[in-house]
Amino acid sequence: MNLHFLILTTLTLTSFLVDAQTADNKGQSKKEFKSQGEQEDYWAYRLFEKTYFKTHFDKFKSDIVINGDGFIFGDKTLVVINTPKNLKTVFSSGIFYPNIITGDTRSVVKSQAEQDTLSVAEKVFYNMTRTDSLTISDFEELKFLSNSPKYKRFKLRLWRKGSANPTACFIELTNENATDKTELTEFIIGASLTFFKEGWLVI
């Protein structure tokens, strides 16, 4: 991951946020929302409407070490907080893992002494581009976007080191064998990841 990639990601997120907050058609008045939650639900609906493309992601193929809220995938860790236990199965079963977010990049982890020699700008860039440890919180199902028993869509918040605000992200899980009677944990165990998208910075 380099500066060009970080700038490109920031511009993409900013572009989506501006588009999501704009009325669907020219001349249409700005949409009113009763709460931030209602507004974000609308943005989520628009994100799937405008950017959805079904893609199959393979599961993590190596051992996963679970240490409290931490899920360790080789040299990378996801810390999962404020999330129901049954939804954590998405991580413990290897459906979602750090490389989904970061790709195959590896960050060079600096010691505290090395970090102390960095300028403020260098520290911000270093923390923003670290891929060894990410935090996920508030992982929840978006039932209003799941119109079939064979797929479910979720929202999560992704926290990167050095950032005061998380990014709202969205995933889709697909289980072709699921029915209306399939319990959530059973659904997840038999599912695969078929969509991932970073949305907007949560202010």
pLDDT number for residue 28: 44
Is 171 part of any domain? yes
* pLDDT tens figures, 121-176: 776 666 666 666 799 999 999 999 988 999 999 999 999 887 789 999 999 999 99
Q: pTM of the prediction?
A: 0.79
pLDDT number for residue 79: 95
Is 17 part of any domain? no
- Which letter does DSSP use for residue 58 in this model? P
Is 168 part of any domain? yes
CA distances from 103 to 32, 62, 90 (A): 37, 16, 18
Residue 160, both tokens? 């990167």
Tally of domains within the chain: 1
pLDDT number for residue 156: 97
HEC readout, 183-203:
CHHHHHHCCEEEEEEEEEECC
Is 98 part of any domain? yes
Containing structural domain, residue 87:
34-201
pLDDT number for residue 111: 63
pLDDT number for residue 158: 96
pLDDT number for residue 142: 96
Positions in the chain short of pLDDT 50: 1-18, 20-29
Is 25 part of any domain? no
pLDDT number for residue 107: 62
Is 28 part of any domain? no
pLDDT number for residue 36: 84
Is 99 part of any domain? yes
pLDDT number for residue 113: 80
Is 126 part of any domain? yes
